[in-house]
Structure 1
């Protein structure tokens, strides 16, 4: 490769393929495309390999790579020849070492030969599987659809990597070599395998953090550092004190937490960056490893050096408590990236910056590496908070209500660890029953949806977002911009099965009932109150919360214990009652504490969901606790007001319904040829940043996935319109292409059932005169002639590629009313068939499709098929920047799109199934 070609290759370096990944042991590594300057590192990697590994890779023993081969291996074009390397920090001359290589060489348009080589010491960590995921994703971006490989029969490890990835591998043996071939388009199984690998890796990384038994606390008193800020020193000392109090079995060490004389503190103030890093590293020479977790309260500019200095201790993760990073501007963002890179390339996860800390009160022992002086009692509630400030009231609210805590993590600016990582952990954690998340921003909505849905199917997940839209981006949070409507967040939460609440008060109200009571079997509620007016009020509150009132009973204030217990038990025995709200607010005096025990005994024996509003009681109380049939204590949660109790029950009942329903199957519409669609898109986008497809091109693209668009013929005048109509056959439809009128039959822009040429010519004159007052579509003929579609209801199906959410699908019935009232339903692919059915039925005007006011029911299944095909196309091809089918006429039989508008642009979607997002 000459210098000019090398410059072109460097210019085409696909930086978007760089990624930090979590391996199966919970540690991290960096993956990136190979570069020419990797030659020495690649040679060192090869030389360090065992003779067997070298033979299996090259079918021969090579002590060193010949210079010619080495040059070829590190000089690639990132299109037809692609190589990815996994790297780790190293003290050698390069500053890093290669621990794995994956490459492909294109054979033809669709096929490429693939090869792997993993360092002997790194095998068994899932690195081969990760490299395959990334290499396959890169290949698909370059149009490759199939990998082939030649493998020696004894290389079972490589063969298993391909098979275990979920691909359907075809193989045959010839002349002592096994030839393999497999398509790399994602399948349900390969996606499930990737998600499961990601789940296990991220869960294990969090398990190492929350199960830490050896902690290193680093304060701001470091060589070369300015006099420590009181805040930083106070943070470090608080964590030290809390660690010692929580569990004396946790081994705690510290660096930089004790003040030193001024002369010593400033002695290295004039050191350059390299010398300062060496001085900082020397400060850690006395630390005894291994260390599980490091907690840092150091000035921001020292964080990268400190992270590198603690790497030799074996730390698995770093909690960074101090701020001063991305929230301060570009320099702070660069500093945040530097500390993140330092952590990941030495195998560590990063929690923070601006973290309040972590708490674990599980069975393995207590860990309080946080700033919290007082903690809730041990329990089964998992809490996550991005905000350090909100961590204080969250922990305090749990403590005051008596809700027991299992784990708490504050991610601060979530440069690395996010709520997704904790949800991965909680899905497997037997000590957690309910999860609560406070999210200031959602940096990876597609992954959030996938991970939250997996967790919500087994444990309730309660989510509070900063701001109703859920799109608030606080300083320091690196989040892509979004143009998605605020309701997209609602749809994201609904699809994921999480319970979205409005404030912290509601979060713990819902957590109480889910943590202390069985899931509601249904929405039918009975009310027991101490007055008839109170019963009526509570019944109204329950109905407002989405419950179905099955009855209300009045329990007089002066009723004795036997009467009270008999009435509550009678209500609980009713077969048409799923949940019960008990309200006891005496008019005179304080409530009798014996009443609570009566309710608790009846509830514990019934197995049904019961909540209470009793004056003076809140949260978990002894008065509302009684042993169940198994002898274990059961508590009826107490609420401040009946409305709070009803609202919490409503959320719990909806969650129980979602969890028990059929969630459907992935969409695979028959005849949808996504490969053909991808080839068409690549061809049209060649050399262009953005392309608006012609009607013919849009029809061809949609036909590839099985969506039929009724063809139309452009016309400039009456003669061309008449010729088109004769070719089509009367009756026909005549339309203007003026954007303001193109869908407006009520304004005369569309003429239907044009029966003959005379009528057509008259309509042409009227439509052209009407359109003359409006700006025409640039470059388009002023008229279109189209065959008549069957009569039915007109709908609009759209897909928009959002920078943050990816594809957002919307469905609504056509017309001004739907647009003005926002009567549109949204879905975020990937969708299931059940998701599509819900989407079509969600608009308030949807009853028009089902036989509204005596009209015949329409072919809703045909509309669902169109929506499903649009969803699959949009999910598979992020280059489809926008797509609109307007209208889609749904008839008694079938649904047909009458017009399609499609805009293409080069893809910029984060591949959420395989990448640990970096800020």
Structure 2
């Protein structure tokens, strides 16, 4: 952590490439540090200048007579390489390379960046950048603005990490408008050395950081990122992490041979990373600040410690002086995964004793437009004490009797006595400004619109569920890893990269899946005999390396229940396949005993560089790409992760016994998901796979593989 500490709390800074020309980055960064009131010692380095902004300049960093902890480099790549070698010789602990022209342009720039990182790592010097905005620490005992943003933000308890320098300047401007404070602020650019994970670890250990904000364009670490961040967000000393990810589209979905591959775009990978690591994903910069304010919201516990205010449940009470905004808040509350709290008789009685008869005593509580601060105080005090209420949303619209500052004072008093979160919406700008300012000064989250407050409460609840999630014991497992390896090796040795049901069912059997009696036949007579042997009814499927989606080719026949029907079906399926693709090589027709009826789900996997196997679960069968009701998680998958995955799809209701239907064997689905995760972790040769459909039977009766396909690839 020492190198990173030198980035944010240096006692001395050298700006290498400082300029005396206003408007140049080297000038502006130096002046920003100087005028920002940096409490350490600042040195400009420029061989052609005697002084910069009246501060004596040095020709080389090695000429500075005192020790230097942090070097800010603002030079073209070749000069930067030489300057950094001199900085290492000088004994710096950290370097920030602001200038561009490195990895992002390729060629010589990439090679220079690699050499710089290599020399710095050998010397134990940490590097931020290249191609970045810089670092900021606005705390009074540091006041470092080593960036080309002229604006020093207010000091606060939220740290911000951004891959984009341009976004940083916009965020700082936005924060100033909202009077939003930061503990630390850093732009990481090319991430040649220091990346998000290094900084997340550092900020988690930082006593001045309560919440971490993250702007991501791409991650370069997968499983390690999830493992580490899971401890940061949900361990013994949790720190919330809020992330905004650029480029939220499905354009990254692969042109793949499996349903999983075609549905699993890069956004699915990032969604999985965020869910599995406990990161709260936000949709916009505005939402990032909305959520950040609430996640930093704390009050003193009975033990004298400051405790973050997160709801224990999703039951919200709304107190408003206007019907319309109350209805909007109600709609948004439900849309955000919350529900309106039902008040106890005691709470309703308390409300009736304090509010006029025209008020609404049920949720949302309408204290009527002419409400002064006492009505708000009495109503909020009553509902927040209710054991059936997990938090409150207070809405105020400016009307003739409204006392915004008095109401704000009342809210702060009640909030100070309660461990439950209270979020406010003071609608308007001028008439409510004093009340808004008072709430902000006392740390109570306040928003301009009820939608923002409701969505923020929903995010707090999601984080609460993450903090209080169950930790289930792992499933007892016994896999035949050796036999599975043999099946895969035999296929690859014979040049086979596609495995259908013939080898696929045996492969799945090695990992605990229930598979059906299956036989490959090459004639109508053989098909009839196979069906007679395994029992009717059966399913018949074409087998061809060129025909992966069999139904599209008319290559599937379900339910023949006698030998003549099977023999006739054989000829029909083969003819359909030849018509569909005259060049297809027909291996034969697979005869499989018809599975017992069940709900159709899909299990699948698509392997990604850096991140590894991405597992998919959802509603399956022929409708998988129509409804796209699927969830994704990165392997390895825990029992907890499997349970969360199954419950996250809309079709979970169907599996749970919807409208009198029997509940299905969800526990076995979860076990199979973990088994699938184990299989793809054990065998990196599996590039993609689908089990579609997996038939789920009533509770206690298990699941059955009805169809499967594997795409193999020799690891490099």
Do both share a fold (TM > 0.5)? yes
| Distance in 2 separating the partners of 1:243 and 1:495 | 39
Matches for 1:137-156 after TM superposition, within 5 Å: none
The answer to whether the 8 A contact 1:611-1:636 is kept is yes
Matches for 1:741-820 after TM superposition, within 5 Å: 744=551, 749-752=556-559, 754-775=560-581, 778-820=584-626
The answer to whether the 8 A contact 2:553-2:580 is kept is no
The size of the alignment, in residue pairs, is: 660
Worse overlay, 883-892 or 595-604: 883-892
Q: TM-score, normalization: structure 2? A: 0.84
Matches for 1:869-880 after TM superposition, within 5 Å: 869-880=675-686
Worse overlay, 457-466 or 808-817: 808-817
Q: What is the Cα deviation at residue 557 of structure 1?
A: 4.2
Partner of 2:651: 845
Q: What is the Cα deviation at residue 367 of structure 1?
A: 2.9
Distance 1:772 1:618, change over 3 A: farther
Q: 2:414 aligns with which of 596, 602, 609?
A: 602
Distance 1:849 1:585, change over 3 A: closer
Worse overlay, 330-339 or 613-622: 613-622
Distance 1:841 1:582, change over 3 A: closer
| Distance in 2 separating the partners of 1:367 and 1:496 | 31
Q: What is the Cα deviation at residue 246 of structure 1?
A: 4.8
| Distance in 1 separating the partners of 2:660 and 2:555 | 28
Distance 1:882 1:843, change over 3 A: same
Q: What is the Cα deviation at residue 368 of structure 1?
A: 2.7
Q: What is the Cα deviation at residue 510 of structure 1?
A: 0.7
| Distance in 1 separating the partners of 2:270 and 2:450 | 29
The answer to whether the 8 A contact 1:526-1:549 is kept is yes
The answer to whether the 8 A contact 1:383-1:436 is kept is yes
The answer to whether the 8 A contact 2:200-2:229 is kept is yes
Q: 1:524 aligns with which of 312, 315, 322?
A: 315
Distance 1:401 1:742, change over 3 A: closer
Question: Matched residue of 2:123: which SS?
Answer: coil
Distance 1:352 1:485, change over 3 A: closer
The answer to whether the 8 A contact 1:710-1:899 is kept is no
Partner of 1:60: none
Matches for 1:83-102 after TM superposition, within 5 Å: none
Q: What is the Cα deviation at residue 780 of structure 1?
A: 4.3
| Distance in 2 separating the partners of 1:883 and 1:741 | 12
Give CA-to-partner distance per residue, 1:313-360, whole Å, 9 cap, x none.
Answer: 222221011112233343333333233233223322221112111122
Q: Does 1:469 align with 2:249?
A: yes
| Distance in 2 separating the partners of 1:600 and 1:464 | 30
| Distance in 2 separating the partners of 1:854 and 1:748 | 35
Question: Matched residue of 2:61: which SS?
Answer: coil
The answer to whether the 8 A contact 1:583-1:613 is kept is yes
The answer to whether the 8 A contact 2:251-2:265 is kept is no
Q: Does 1:209 align with 2:209?
A: no
Q: TM-score, normalization: structure 1? A: 0.66
Q: 1:570 aligns with which of 382, 399, 402?
A: 382
The answer to whether the 8 A contact 2:14-2:70 is kept is yes
Q: Does 1:254 align with 2:44?
A: yes
Question: Matched residue of 1:459: which SS?
Answer: coil
The answer to whether the 8 A contact 1:220-1:257 is kept is no
Q: Does 1:543 align with 2:334?
A: yes
Q: What is the Cα deviation at residue 621 of structure 1?
A: 5.3
The answer to whether the 8 A contact 1:693-1:901 is kept is yes
The answer to whether the 8 A contact 1:715-1:785 is kept is yes
Q: What is the Cα deviation at residue 783 of structure 1?
A: 1.0
Q: 1:659 aligns with which of 452, 464, 467?
A: 467
Partner of 2:194: 417
Matches for 1:74-85 after TM superposition, within 5 Å: none
Q: What is the Cα deviation at residue 463 of structure 1?
A: 0.6
Distance 1:336 1:471, change over 3 A: farther
Q: Does 1:367 align with 2:144?
A: yes
User: Which consecutive unaligned segments of at least 5 residues does structure 1 have?
Assistant: 1-202, 222-227, 262-280, 473-481, 626-632, 909-919
Distance 1:384 1:725, change over 3 A: same
Q: What is the Cα deviation at residue 807 of structure 1?
A: 0.7
| Distance in 2 separating the partners of 1:375 and 1:290 | 26
Partner of 1:340: 117
Worse overlay, 409-418 or 248-257: 248-257
Q: Does 1:241 align with 2:40?
A: no
Q: What is the Cα deviation at residue 461 of structure 1?
A: 1.0
Worse overlay, 405-414 or 551-560: 551-560
Give CA-to-partner distance per residue, 1:457-480, whole Å, 9 cap, x none.
Answer: 1121111111223989xxxxxxxx
| Distance in 1 separating the partners of 2:185 and 2:396 | 34
The answer to whether the 8 A contact 1:359-1:408 is kept is yes
Distance 1:846 1:539, change over 3 A: closer
Distance 1:516 1:861, change over 3 A: closer
Partner of 1:500: 281
Partner of 1:613: 425
Matches for 1:234-633 after TM superposition, within 5 Å: 234-246=24-36, 249-256=39-46, 259=49, 283-288=60-65, 290-361=67-138, 365-457=142-234, 458-469=238-249, 484-517=265-298, 518-550=309-341, 551-588=363-400, 591-614=403-426, 615-616=428-429, 622-624=437-439
Q: What is the Cα deviation at residue 663 of structure 1?
A: 4.7
The answer to whether the 8 A contact 2:602-2:618 is kept is yes
| Distance in 1 separating the partners of 2:187 and 2:681 | 33
Partner of 2:347: none
Give CA-to-partner distance per residue, 1:761-816, whole Å, 9 cap, x none.
Answer: 23334434444432279544231112333332232211111224321111223333
Distance 1:217 1:554, change over 3 A: same
| Distance in 1 separating the partners of 2:397 and 2:142 | 41
Q: What is the Cα deviation at residue 423 of structure 1?
A: 0.8
Question: Matched residue of 1:345: which SS?
Answer: helix
The answer to whether the 8 A contact 1:530-1:586 is kept is no
The answer to whether the 8 A contact 1:745-1:751 is kept is no
Partner of 2:349: none
Q: What is the Cα deviation at residue 536 of structure 1?
A: 2.2
| Distance in 2 separating the partners of 1:245 and 1:229 | 16
Distance 1:781 1:638, change over 3 A: same
The answer to whether the 8 A contact 2:16-2:61 is kept is no
Worse overlay, 674-683 or 649-658: 674-683
Q: What is the Cα deviation at residue 409 of structure 1?
A: 0.9
Give CA-to-partner distance per residue, 1:157-185, whole Å, 9 cap, x none.
Answer: xxxxxxxxxxxxxxxxxxxxxxxxxxxxx
| Distance in 2 separating the partners of 1:873 and 1:288 | 61
The answer to whether the 8 A contact 1:379-1:406 is kept is yes
Give CA-to-partner distance per residue, 1:441-494, whole Å, 9 cap, x none.
Answer: 22334333333322221121111111223989xxxxxxxxx9735333223222
| Distance in 2 separating the partners of 1:205 and 1:620 | 43
Q: What is the Cα deviation at residue 594 of structure 1?
A: 2.1
Q: Does 1:904 align with 2:712?
A: yes
| Distance in 2 separating the partners of 1:894 and 1:438 | 43
The answer to whether the 8 A contact 2:4-2:202 is kept is yes
| Distance in 2 separating the partners of 1:605 and 1:214 | 44
The answer to whether the 8 A contact 1:879-1:906 is kept is yes
Give CA-to-partner distance per residue, 1:572-613, whole Å, 9 cap, x none.
Answer: 222222221212222459854222112211222222211222
Partner of 1:856: 662
Distance 1:214 1:759, change over 3 A: same
Question: Matched residue of 2:160: which SS?
Answer: strand
Q: What is the Cα deviation at residue 747 of structure 1?
A: 6.0
Partner of 1:103: none
Partner of 2:692: 886
Distance 1:709 1:220, change over 3 A: farther
Question: Matched residue of 1:888: which SS?
Answer: strand
Worse overlay, 784-793 or 250-259: 250-259
Q: What is the Cα deviation at residue 710 of structure 1?
A: 3.0
The answer to whether the 8 A contact 2:373-2:402 is kept is no
